[in-house]
Amino acid sequence: MSPRAQHAGALVFALSVTMLVMVIGVAGVVSLRAATAQSVRTDDTISATYLARSAAVLGVQLLTEQSAWRSTISNDAWYGLGTVNGAKLYMKAVDDDGDLADDESDSVRIYGRAATRDATRMISALARPETVTGSNVLSNGGFESGTSGWIFANGTPVLDTSAPPEGLQSLCLTDRPALSMAQAVADVSSVVENNTEYELELWVRFASGTGSVDVSFQLAGSSPAWTQYQSIPDVGTTWARYTLTFPSTGSSSFTSAWITIAASSGTADFCLDGIVLREAPTSRLVLAAGSWRREID
């Protein structure tokens, strides 16, 4: 059975020669090339074995880079990865239930296959999805260092030690003028990156009544302009924690980046604490240790 070549549009593998060589280097093919005592045929067989393993590793890496891979590739279908030293490399993903897309938490078995001049080898390993959560990039989001790192508008910043939801103090904007948006602004120019989804978490409350809180994330100097808004309605007087997700920052360069947290109405004291900005959780595939299996072609 020869591997079934898939239509190029089905899976766009951004495969670079550099990446391929890097992965194959990890698998040890480079050192094998020095084994000159081997007969050509034996060398070819060993190369095919290592290249098959490399194909599986490369397959996992390529799938991880494509967030929608579960719906863009077919279960148990071979995809070509390219040719290295005359060997053709392929990979496929197999879900035991036959459906890659029905459950993102399903493990899949990744197969790598290499066909050299005189040998074809196939090897597989189990790949488990793992959620990766970014680290906080915002400084002093808990106001434990006072107002350091923050700029405020339309209100007087006052540190409040009475009942902070995190740490020893929160921050309230008091003496708010009517019909103005009280704002807490953080410069995140040096910590945010392009092509990244972020999420912002915060504790928020008003001293009285209810109101909405608007959070904007702006990349200044980008073209086209990039500003995203998220609104939290009905914030009350009890501390509540919210998580807001922002879409990818895109590829346009920017000169500065700003997070603005604003109370849009009323004059009640507006209080914040525990503000965290981090990369939104992403899912990646991780090869399970000890799960490699030689497959019979």
How many angstroms separate the CA atoms of 98 and 100, rounded?
7
- Shortest approach of Ca ion to residue 224 CB, angstroms? 36
- Shortest approach of Ca ion to residue 40 CB, angstroms? 43
- Contact between 187 and Ca ion (CB under 5 A)? no
- Shortest approach of Ca ion to residue 113 CB, angstroms? 22
Nearest-5° Cα angle at 15, 11 to 20: 135
- Choose between 106 and 197: whose C-beta lies nearer to Ca ion: 106
- Shortest approach of Ca ion to residue 173 CB, angstroms? 15
Residue type, 214: D
Among 166, 199, 214, 279, binds Ca ion (CB under 5 A): 166
**Which 8-state DSSP code applies to residue 91?**
E
DSSP assignment of 126-186: EEEEEEE-PPP--TTTT-TTTTTTEEEESSEEEEE-SS-SSSS-EEEEESPPTTS-EEEEE
Which are the contacts of 64, defined by CB distance < 8 A and separation ≥ 6?
Answer: 284, 285
How many angstroms separate the CA atoms of 58 and 67, rounded?
16
**Location of structure tokens 């400084």:** 139
Cα–Cα distance list, 115 to 63, 82, 264 (Å)? 22, 11, 64
- Choose between 3 and 164: whose C-beta lies nearer to Ca ion: 164
- Choose between 269 and 273: whose C-beta lies nearer to Ca ion: 273
- Choose between 102 and 118: whose C-beta lies nearer to Ca ion: 102
Which 68-107 positions form the footprint of Ca ion (CB under 5 A)? 95, 97, 99, 102-103, 106
Binding mask 122-161 for Ca ion (x = CB under 5 A): --------------------x-------------------
- Choose between 99 and 295: whose C-beta lies nearer to Ca ion: 99
- Shortest approach of Ca ion to residue 135 CB, angstroms? 18
Q: Which among 1-9, 83-91, 166-174, 222-230 is the span making contact with Ca ion, rule CB under 5 A? A: 166-174
Q: Which residue, 204, 51, 32, 62, is CA-closest to 122? A: 51
- Shortest approach of Ca ion to residue 42 CB, angstroms? 39
Among 59, 112, 164, 211, binds Ca ion (CB under 5 A): 164
- Choose between 159 and 287: whose C-beta lies nearer to Ca ion: 159
Which 227-286 positions form the footprint of Ca ion (CB under 5 A)? 273
- Shortest approach of Ca ion to residue 128 CB, angstroms? 13
- Shortest approach of Ca ion to residue 141 CB, angstroms? 8
How many angstroms separate the CA atoms of 115 and 49, rounded?
9
Sign of the CA dihedral with 254 first, then 188, 235, and 174 last: negative
Which 202-231 positions form the footprint of Ca ion (CB under 5 A)? none
Which 10-69 positions form the footprint of Ca ion (CB under 5 A)? none
Task: Give the residues lining the site for Ca ion (CB under 5 A).
Answer: 95, 97, 99, 102-103, 106, 142, 164, 166-167, 273
